[in-house]
Structure 1
Amino acid sequence: MGRLTILCGLLFLLCNLKPGICSAADQLKGKLDGRVLELDESNFDSAISSFSYILVDFYAPWCGHCKRLSPQLDKAAPILAGLKDPIVIAKLDADKFTTLARKYEIDGYPTLKLFIHGVPVDYRGPRKPDLLVHYLKKFVAPDVSILGSDSAISDFVEAADTEFPIYLGFGLNETVISYLAIKYKQKAWFSVAKDFSEDAMVLYDFDKVPALVVLHPSYNEQSTFYGPFEDEFLGDFIKQNLLPLAVPMNQETLSQLGFDDRKIVLTIMEDANEEKSQKLIKLLKAAASANRDLVFGYVGVKQWEEFADAFGANKNKKFPKLIIWNGDEEYFSVIGYESLDEEDQGSQISRFLEGYREGRTEKKMIEGPSFKDHMMSTIGIGAVVIFVFLVALLMLIRSLCKDDDEPRGADTRRDIDHDDSSDGESSDTEHEARKKED
């Protein structure tokens, strides 16, 4: 009894000397009910050490971007807390607790850092609640999951986020794909099945091992690779299957295409949801299977008019329209096959590709400000700030070279900063904080 009394006394003394240690346990309720934890200097270290995964929002109360991000994190918090491996969301007033802000090199607001077993990693992914959840689930997953039975394979596929392709290795050693799994960790799920039955072979449609099966649950697509399992061939298969056979063009897929150096066969339709358009999409998938050196994408004018108009859809009303796009400011039409007729579209697609490969093309340029505006929004405000800074720097150098009495670079910079503020906020301090906004 005496020992118990001593232990209780020591625990009471420890909690009074280091209140943050006890408060972390108390705040565990915040993790369970999905609330965003409020951190300060007294409980920050204990909270970081208490949770395997904790995403911390370093914010400033006066920051407009921080105010807009806060409700997004509130929505994502309960979903992330309910995962098999929970991810806690917390926030710290970095403008008030400057010692912690300096420790973690916070130089703008909001800054998000994911602490994985206490080790901070910069989070630069999406910030909308659903996309943030998708991204973080991949962020904390193993590079390669090891599966030991049919039920483990089924559970893995079911638990994986359908926004990403799923690679299942059968009869493979994990070391074969580990390097590529690390390289593409944030873009796909990777696993190796150590034990499986013939039923699994039938279910995932492969007839020999080793085999690497890739699933695209969102698009109901599947492909199988039997080797050779060498870096070049394996790498090409994984990279080419990160996207579905026919890619619907939208904000998210367009940003993904920025990491792919293949030319894009872009089909512009009047309405991608029409029955005749769906039949055409099936033909595009078949063409994509036979032409893996190209990406096949499509867009409906009704779904994304601004993007389609950048390729002259407003001038040529004859749809479907086919072009070859390099992902930049140039695209090519194939002479004689600018659009498809209603009949035998599969043959017309083949002749279009043949004309492109033989060089029977006409180069054109992207038109209209809407496309450039979109590209700005895709690459993020950070790139815009860098561009503005470089322009201001060049103007300053020019003014100094002219040996003017009064340099105009600083005034020009202030004017540009004022114009660049999309929210009409004139605070110089908040403008600097926006450099961290993606």
Structure 2
Amino acid sequence: MILFIFFLASAFSLQSLPPTVSSPEFSADGTVLELDDSNFDSAISAFDFILVDFYAPWCGHCKRLSPELDAAAPVLSRLKEPIVIAKVNADKFTRLASKYEIDGFPTLKLFMNGVPIDYFGPRKADLLVQFLKKIVVPDVSLLESDSAISNFVETAGTHFPIYIGFGLNESMISEFAIKYKKKAWFSMAKGFSEEVLVLHDFDKVPALLSLHPSHNEQSVFYGPFEDDFLEDFIKQNLLPMAMPINYDTLKLLKDDERKIVLAIMEDESDEKSLKLINLLKSAASANHDLVFGYVGFKQWEDFTDTFEVNKKTKLPKMIVWDRNEEYLSVIGSENLDEEDQGSQIMRFLEGYREGRTVQKRIAGPSLIGYLKSLISIRTLYLLVVVVGGIMLIQTISKEDEREVRQRRHTQDRIDDSSSSASESETREVYRPEDKED
């Protein structure tokens, strides 16, 4: 009897256990992993760093991104800290899409030790590799020699600014290196010669050197090295001295509270505009409280139209923009002549600081507002489905009501007919007693 009870208890306990799920083996072999509901969690836990592309088969942007990921995957897999690339058909595996709040395609998320963060970095293979390499390096790289410094700059590439401390303690910048890790490279030179100082055109330490390789720009900070001053220098040098204003660069300005001195030019790539851009850089070096940017009417006509610029407008035109619905025009200094533009920019800045301005509203929603207001394809699709469902339900309900009313009306007519027929039958039916002799 005791054995029988033990057998029943064992059988019951086995039935109550959830089924065992075996985790498949994964390897960082340079291929892009295809994940689904059955193996997603196993893959995320198998790697310290895994970039996941949530895509839809019908999405054009997803199709263009796919070969870039295929090209980046083998390079990232060979890093000292390998990064794996995977993809999920979020249009099919909706549970995963819902869990990770995927509302547009493609959406990239980097899982670091199982914790997801949104990836907003570049998507071309070479730039994507540079960006992700930065994620897995130490917050502050220690450079022990001149060759280590040059190797660090070369490895860092040209997409992000580089900060190198000379004669500083690592702890002085470690806090900011963590805070701005996704936006810049940070390092500390522990061993260096005079030749490095000459190469980068500064002559004393302690100093913090900022490099923007893609724009061939550099800046040196000699202190004071208190937190506020040091962070201001780092924040101001995250951006080039004069930057093109477009969809990507506006994202970089998301956390920057400074106003933009914006030069609107005919064509941002022609020779005249390049000279103006250099003048904007010179002005930026003396006005760190402002962001200096430029945009070409030829490249971004729809955007420049919001600042009352059209084919008849005299260009270049200068404004000060807060990246929202308002901008400032400096009285008497709005348009630049071809001669002595450097002096005209100085007068424009003087007029702005002295308040000789007119406040205007842009002709439509700001570009940032426009970007925020964009509804993703998936959200739009769901919205259409929901609205369509509601309309269908309402239509069916109306048809049901109409059918019910029609039935009632028909039944009432039938009832009326039946009642009339009964009366008629009652009157006309032959009865023996009615027979007349």
TM-score normalised to structure 1 length: 0.73
The question of 1:218 aligning with 2:221 is answered no
- Indicate conservation of the 8 Å contact 1:255/1:378, yes or no: no
Whole-Å separation in 1 of the counterparts to 2:51 and 2:218: 34
Q: Which residue of 2 aligns with 1:153?
A: 149
**How many Å apart are 1:120 and its aligned residue?**
2.3
Encode CA deviations 1:285-332: one digit per residue, 9 max, x unaligned: 111111111111111111211121211111752111111111111111
Q: Which residue of 2 aligns with 1:69?
A: 62
Of 285-294 and 272-281, deviating more is 272-281
Q: Which residue of 1 aligns with 2:352?
A: 356
Whole-Å separation in 2 of the counterparts to 1:251 and 1:94: 25
**Among residues 298, 302, 311, which one is paired with 1:302 in the alignment?**
298
**Among residues 340, 345, 363, which one is paired with 2:341 in the alignment?**
345
Encode CA deviations 1:231-276: one digit per residue, 9 max, x unaligned: 1100110111111111111211122122211111111111122222
Encode CA deviations 1:187-215: one digit per residue, 9 max, x unaligned: 11111111111111111222111110001
Q: Which residue of 1 aligns with 2:370?
A: 376
What count of residue pairs does the alignment treat as equivalent? 363
DSSP-derived class of the 2:267 partner? coil
DSSP-derived class of the 1:314 partner? coil
- Percent of paired sites with the same residue: 58
**Among residues 234, 237, 251, which one is paired with 1:255 in the alignment?**
251
Whole-Å separation in 2 of the counterparts to 1:296 and 1:368: 22
The question of 1:325 aligning with 2:325 is answered no
DSSP-derived class of the 2:307 partner? coil
**How many Å apart are 1:46 and its aligned residue?**
5.8
Whole-Å separation in 2 of the counterparts to 1:279 and 1:321: 15
Distance 1:300 1:41, change over 3 A: closer
Q: Which residue of 1 aligns with 2:184?
A: 188
Q: Which residue of 2 aligns with 1:402?
A: none
Q: Which residue of 2 aligns with 1:311?
A: 307
- Indicate conservation of the 8 Å contact 1:76/1:133, yes or no: no
**Among residues 83, 86, 96, which one is paired with 1:87 in the alignment?**
83
**Among residues 178, 187, 191, which one is paired with 2:174 in the alignment?**
178
Distance 1:51 1:332, change over 3 A: same
- Give ranges in structure 2 of 5+ residues lacking alignment: 1-19, 392-437
The question of 1:123 aligning with 2:98 is answered no
**How many Å apart are 1:129 and its aligned residue?**
3.7
Whole-Å separation in 2 of the counterparts to 1:28 and 1:140: 15
Encode CA deviations 1:79-109: one digit per residue, 9 max, x unaligned: 243143432112346788899x49x944546
Whole-Å separation in 2 of the counterparts to 1:359 and 1:273: 32
The question of 1:167 aligning with 2:167 is answered no
One-letter identity of the residue aligned with 1:301: F
The question of 1:273 aligning with 2:266 is answered no
Whole-Å separation in 2 of the counterparts to 1:54 and 1:358: 52
Of 232-241 and 68-77, deviating more is 68-77
Matches within 5 A, 1:352-431: 352-368=348-364, 372=367, 375-377=369-371, 381=375
DSSP-derived class of the 1:186 partner? coil
Distance 1:285 1:183, change over 3 A: same
**Among residues 227, 230, 235, which one is paired with 2:223 in the alignment?**
227
- Give ranges in structure 1 of 5+ residues lacking alignment: 1-16, 390-409, 416-438
DSSP-derived class of the 1:343 partner? coil
The question of 1:290 aligning with 2:286 is answered yes
One-letter identity of the residue aligned with 1:226: Y
**How many Å apart are 1:217 and its aligned residue?**
0.7
DSSP-derived class of the 1:310 partner? helix
Encode CA deviations 1:141-182: one digit per residue, 9 max, x unaligned: 322111111111111111113111111111111110111111
